[in-house]
Chains A and B, each alone.
Chain A
């Protein structure tokens, strides 16, 4: 294990009350069960295209989004099912979108990589690595200039730090003191390339700090630490003190996408990281301090599973939009402009 440089699993008592602890556990379960089902449906060819699973990384989206507020803007990547779900997009609409049905949250135009939802201020769903970073700066600029009290949280993978967009956005966000929270989900591999194979500087906080941006680094497998750290960072941003960068160190248990044979990392490494899995380490901690019984865990899991079943039924029952509407939404129709 030490050869693999995998830290000890998160442990110790959870400093939250039972109710909140269970909400957090339930959130992680909902993401996990939804994605396991998505993988299965991909095998059945109900879901097509690219499908990037978040399995193993649930503590990041869960801890972070539970520390944010409804009025905050969320910008995410192509691995965004969990972020969309916890931003408040219904699982039904997410599942239907992956099916390509018109009841999907993007009307079947986006698919897995392009989930969008105006009502919950969920701005995607961006499949260009680093593409969301300048966009988030602009959303934050709009809030700042209009006096809207909110922050923009931008999630992206560590692969994006190699992009010019990362550096240009860090510079602008700090220069203009924008209310944006950059959440870098460092899962160690940019597609199949390990950070050290692609970056001369592997300390991501150093990169952000070089733009004068304050940074925090956190164990992204520990939902408690993620939540508390993002909350602290969000307070900084809300106080009008400019942007902040948080590196969330995590690991995906599945391949980059369903097309990826995952040949670039050893099975031993994946197994070692699974000992740090956010679902079982968190539920074990809750059980150890009598915040959760096995029955309660099973009940939460059953609830999540039922939500997934309902979402699949909703997506199955969904309708294919007529190709007569193919050219819709390229431009805004004049009557609504």
Chain B
């Protein structure tokens, strides 16, 4: 099959087009998804192709339109709701958590909510505190939700199909830094990506670096750097933040006997903390060193570039954390 170079953005658009063509029940709704073409230009051209009934611009009222998307799913449609960013999704926490996630259980299994909610997440673009949050770990706390974080163009292309096929609510977090990421993908149809499992992005033997989303590239760079210093790092991309794929994590940790978790969310109460706790529960006696993590500093993300960079996990910090773990001074 012929290959073509796609950006992460293009990959998401291709996935949306494919879903809209495949199933008349699918619609895209959200802020600026239509005539604007999507705030990250993901849905550019879709309004012209599919019309305003299926590419539905909404008012800036997250609680209202996310709630309506959930109702539409309940009523038999397959809505993809785009919330511009995770920061704004806090206005829609109620319908996402109190309704979408809980409805199946509290109705005794009678009603499922087959909605897909997409949003951008993460920092690194000098957008200051209210546009730089990484709250996907909060959502990963909630039973009833499936939480995805595509970190590669392939995952951006292949996750939407299975997410739509899931009869329960799925949240997709797209790191805002990734939209311009490029990769070569086969033209035309693309195989579905597994939305059950983590992915081993690089094999190694000395340390497991466990991360997801926007930190994957930084972690892979750290692994390269470590390689040059004679340390073999394995890189695990969690990919599915809920439910977590314990098996892949533990297999890697048991092999490497050391682990560093890298997560752009704040350190306290982070998903990284959960991953570390699980390793302690399941693989403590396989460890040769204490677990470590590299997260964001406990500060609202600042605007100034140097301060923002200092607040976020960066490749040198990851390398330093690993060296400390290996008993080598960084």
Which A residues contact B (CB, under 8 angstroms)? 73, 104-110, 114, 116-118, 123-126, 128, 131, 133-143, 145-146, 148, 164-165, 167-169, 171-172, 175, 328-332, 336-337
Docked-complex contact B77 and A142, CB < 8 angstroms: yes
What are 28 contact pairs spanning A and B, CB under 8 A?
A: A105-B108, A107-B109, A116-B108, A118-B110, A123-B74, A123-B111, A124-B107, A125-B107, A128-B94, A131-B67, A131-B94, A131-B98, A135-B71, A135-B95, A137-B64, A137-B67, A138-B67, A138-B72, A140-B75, A142-B73, A142-B74, A146-B25, A164-B61, A165-B63, A168-B63, A168-B65, A171-B61, A331-B168
Docked-complex contact A117 and B110, CB < 8 angstroms: yes
**Given A134-B95, A135-B68, also A332-B63 (CB < 8 A):** no
Docked-complex contact A142 and B75, CB < 8 angstroms: yes
Cα–Cα, bound, A164→B63 (Å):
8
Cα–Cα, bound, A136→B46 (Å):
27
Nearest B residue (CB) for A102: B108
> Which of chain B's residues 92-117 have a Cβ closer than 8 Å to chain A?
94-95, 98-99, 103-112
Nearest A residue (CB) for B75: A142
From A116, A169, A332, B106 is in contact (CB under 8 Å) with A116
From B71, B77, B104, A329 is in contact (CB under 8 Å) with B104
Residues of A with C-beta under 8 A to B98:
128, 131
Binary contact track B42-75/A, C-beta < 8 Å → 1, others 0: 0000000000010000110101111111111111
Cα–Cα, bound, A143→B74 (Å):
11
Central interface residue in B74, B146, B165, by most chain A CB within 10 Å: B74
Docked-complex contact A139 and B107, CB < 8 angstroms: no
Cα–Cα, bound, A108→B168 (Å):
21
Docked-complex contact B74 and A139, CB < 8 angstroms: yes
Docked-complex contact A332 and B167, CB < 8 angstroms: yes
Docked-complex contact A135 and B74, CB < 8 angstroms: yes
Docked-complex contact A128 and B76, CB < 8 angstroms: no
Docked-complex contact A139 and B75, CB < 8 angstroms: yes
Residues of A with C-beta under 8 A to B319:
none
Nearest B residue (CB) for A127: B98
Q: Does B166 contact A (CB under 8 A)?
A: yes
